[in-house]
Amino acid sequence: MACCQPLHQGTPAPDAERLMRARYSAYALKMPEYILETWHQDTRPESLTQADLQGIKWLKLEVLAHQQRDDTHAEVHFVATYQSAKQKKSSMTEHSQFERINGQWLYCGQVEK
């Protein structure tokens, strides 16, 4: 997660995959401010707190695909493995959309199917 530290400190992600990795580590490190800052304003929640991030231990991120559609749009398909309190390991798969605005990649949400 040290590889994401420059991004967590304000360096813009060079591409959507690096932003996805930095956001994953921000969830693991319980960094709600970074998560909100890198979430597109049209889709982000009004708030996210430390308490919202408690109870889940993030174990592994596997990026399955990264597709740069054009200069300002990209998609990342990933699997994240986690463990919640008193439960076995679980995983979630997401195909996410990203948009670059003013040189900064932002997470928009899941690709609509």
pLDDT in tens, 26-73: 999 999 999 999 999 999 999 999 889 988 999 999 999 999 999 999
- Reported as a pLDDT band with limits 50, 70 and 90, residue 86 is confident
Return the residue matching tokens 């390991």: 89
Distance CA 105, CA 108 (A): 9
Q: Which of 43, 4, 32 is nearest to 20 (CA)?
A: 4
Percent of the chain with pLDDT over 90: 81
Q: Which residue has the tokens 């992600």?
A: 13
Burial of 13 (0-12, 13-18, 19+ CB in 10 A): buried
Q: Out of 3.40.640.10, 3.10.450.50, 3.40.50.1000, 3.30.420.40, which CATH number does the structure's domain 2-110 have?
A: 3.10.450.50
> What is the average pLDDT across 84-106?
92
Q: Report pTM.
A: 0.92
Measured from the Cβ of residue 92, the count of other Cβ atoms closer than 10 Å reads: 9
pLDDT of residue 4: 86
